[in-house]
Amino acid sequence: MTSSTRQAMVGIGAGTEFGTSDMVLNIGPQHPSTHGVLRLRLNLDGELITAAEPVVGYMHRGAEKLFEARDYRQIIMLANRHDWLSAFANELGVVLGVERMLGMEVPVRATWTRTLLAELNRVLNHLMFLGSYPLELGGITPIFHAFKEREQLQAVMEEASGGRMHYMFNRVGGLKEDLPAGWYGRVRAAVAAVRGRMDVFDNLVLGNEIFRARTRTVGVLSPAHVHAYGVSGPIARASGVDFDLRRDEPYLAYGELADVLRVVTRTEGDCLARFECLLEQVHNALDLADACLDRIGELAPGPINQRLPKVLKAPEGQTYAWTENPLGVNGYYLVSRGDKTPWRLKLRSASYNNVQVLTELLPGTLVADMVAILGSMFFVVGDIDK
């Protein structure tokens, strides 16, 4: 049979000698394989992905515009909601930016307690992904363990702030209020309890040969693409990009924790490496929390916030405050014209950059591996859409 005859039989535009043609497949925005309302537009040649386009914006709330209509106390509420797994860290970037504009010095106890809470929030974030990622590959058991450990830490976070997800505990000049009596001791007990059960993930998940087969050498992200797309956090470090703001541009008390802080990296850049980075970061975050508790125990009694005027106005000018959020670099570009509200507050969220690299990562892979790759990018859709 000649090629022209074969083409006539299978139809015009047949893509291969087997008679297949390209197909466009939409994954999402409502689909079990996606985290929330993310849509992936895939071009397929049989089971092979030839092109991928992340389509975002289904959860866009216009938070950056809303910042301009609320004063510096109120914008904290908006800031902590884009990455709902990292609410405390989101608040932190805003208050650090405003404090920098005001030239305000925060009490020492507030600085160390902020650092402690930021690391507890990091563990809460990572445990969610450590449990949900195996679930996407067919392993249901780890997520029950993850939620049990999260509840240990969630209880002390809720006791301090009154909130389970949106803590609203940061304030310009420190923290909302002093901690309850005996709270630091309960935190130490919770940290020890979580650390004592982390072998579930070390052995049950990483020791599972099916999990390793589904993730090793799958979805390899090169350092060049990390730099080109501004990918950050554990995803970037899993590809060998050794960058962490806690070490490279220290803020809060991280400059005094250099002997405890470990920046976890891998060179493989695959799904397995990304999971391993997340897991090791949990171990280190628990160590950092203990170090913060040790230092707080040595501090003399003192205030945990600054007294603020009834109407808080930032002086005219601009600044950029960025922090190492659990999912990567989170930045706020603040422009003030001397009013009680920001003239402009631009948010640089980690997930927005991280998910764009799927355009480079998915082509050439199989549809069966798409879910494994997508889940290993560890993003929150609200953090993409802002």
193 vs 58: which has the higher pLDDT:
193
CA distances from 131 to 63, 140, 174, 201, 379 (A): 29, 8, 33, 8, 14
Q: Has residue 34 got a pLDDT over 60?
A: no
State the residue for tokens 């040790």: 294
The secondary structure of 360-371 as a DSSP string is HHSTTSBHHHHH
CATH number of 63-385: 1.10.645.10
3-class SS string, 7-24: HHHHCCCCCCCCCCCCEE
| Digit-coded pLDDT (tens) for 102-113 | 999 999 999 999
On whether the CB atoms of residues 379 and 351 are closer than 8 A, the answer is yes
| Digit-coded pLDDT (tens) for 214-252 | 999 999 999 999 999 999 999 999 999 999 999 999 999
With a pLDDT cut of 90, the percent of the chain lying above it is 76
Return phi, psi of residue 337, to 5°.
-115, 25
The confidence score (pLDDT) of residue 1 equals 38
3-state secondary structure of 318: strand
What residue spans define the domains of the chain? 3-55, 63-385
Task: Please state the rounded mean pLDDT for residues 141-159.
Answer: 94
CA distances from 117 to 12, 30, 111, 255, 379 (A): 62, 34, 10, 16, 21
The confidence score (pLDDT) of residue 11 equals 39
